[in-house]
């Protein structure tokens, strides 16, 4: 296949696809119905024209018949008055009119036949147009209902082009929101661990605050240790007859060692 044929084929295929998308069956049906109405109107005008011509021929035949009757009377009167020459002239003119009347009657019969055929064709076409109109309205209503149902189903399922774009936008917004939340959480963890410095905190007293926190923590440790030691020492025993002196000596020894430390 040559390059020009391929280009022509591609162009026709794309043009056909574009026409399919642009075509609305309801508009096509309305256009076809309008064309049929125009044709019916032309047929009606044709019937009217033929009927007018037939009526004109009828009038001409009536006029010629009246003239022929008048010439017959004139011929009869001329014979009664002994004017054979005038009678012959009147009868000659009557013969010419009789020939014209015959021709006009033949035309009248032909026009009448054409009128009858056109009238029958008009009636058939009008019945066809009425049937097409009823079918057209039914098809249009069915198509409109199907189109509305399709749009509703697409909207509910999210497969429509517009709803698909909306769904993608929502997905992108959710992804960005999750990303920002994750980033904010990571920054909070880094600030809490000390890997990042909180720039919103006062910069002048950072070292002092950290030193005070360290001293406070150390003091808390020492206080807890002293409490544990106090709880671990044995309770004092009153001096008795058997071992009072020994207990007092051990207590005095522990006090001396504690002071030395």
- Entry pTM: 0.48
Structural domains present in the chain: 35-146 (1.10.287)
pLDDT one digit per residue (tens) for the chain, 261 residues: 576 766 666 656 666 665 556 667 888 888 889 999 999 999 999 999 999 999 999 999 999 989 989 888 988 888 888 888 888 888 888 888 888 989 999 999 999 999 999 999 999 999 999 999 999 999 889 988 888 888 787 777 666 555 566 667 777 888 888 888 888 877 777 777 766 665 555 554 456 666 666 667 777 777 877 888 787 765 544 444 444 454 455 555 555 444 444
Please tell me the predicted confidence (pLDDT) of residue 201.
Answer: 54
- Distance CA(58)–CA(101), nearest Å, equals 10
Look at residues 123, 132, 124 and name the one whose alpha carbon lies nearest to residue 28: 132
pLDDT of 165 reads 66
Classify residue 16 as exposed, middle or buried by CB count within 10 Å of its CB (0-12, 13-18, 19+): exposed
Question: With the C-alpha atoms ordered 150, 154, 155, 157, is the resulting torsion angle positive or negative?
Answer: positive
pLDDT at position 123: 92
CB 87 within 8 A of CB 78: yes
């Amino acid at each position: 296949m040559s390059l020009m044929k391929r280009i022509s084929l591609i162009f026709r295929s794309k043009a056909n696809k574009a026409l399919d998308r642009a075509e609305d069956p309801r508009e096509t049906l309305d256009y076809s119905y309008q064309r049929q109405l125009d044709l019916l109107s032309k047929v009606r005008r044709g019937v009217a024209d033929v009927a007018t011509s037939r009526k004109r021929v009828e009038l001409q035949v009536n006029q010629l018949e009246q003239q022929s009757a008048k010439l017959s009377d004139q011929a009869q009167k001329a014979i009664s008055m002994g004017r054979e020459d005038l009678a012959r002239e009147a009868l000659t003119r009557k013969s010419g009119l009789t020939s014209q009347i015959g021709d006009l009657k033949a035309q009248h019969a032909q026009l009448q036949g054409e009128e009858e055929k056109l009238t029958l064709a008009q009636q058939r076409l009008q019945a066809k147009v009425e049937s097409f109109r009823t079918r057209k309205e039914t098809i249009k209503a069915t198509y409109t209902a199907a189109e509305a149902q399709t749009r509703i189903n697409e909207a509910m399922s999210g497969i429509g082009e517009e709803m698909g774009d909306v769904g993608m936008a929502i997905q992108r917004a959710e992804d960005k929101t999750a990303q920002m939340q994750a980033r904010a959480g990571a920054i909070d963890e880094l600030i809490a661990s000390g890997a990042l410095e909180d720039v919103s905190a006062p910069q002048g007293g950072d070292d002092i605050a950290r030193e005070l926190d360290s001293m406070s923590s150390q003091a808390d440790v020492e206080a807890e240790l002293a409490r544990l030691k106090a709880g671990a020492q044995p309770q004092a025993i009153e001096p008795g007859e058997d071992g009072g002196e020994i207990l007092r000596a051990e207590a005095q020894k522990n006090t001396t060692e504690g002071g030395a430390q």
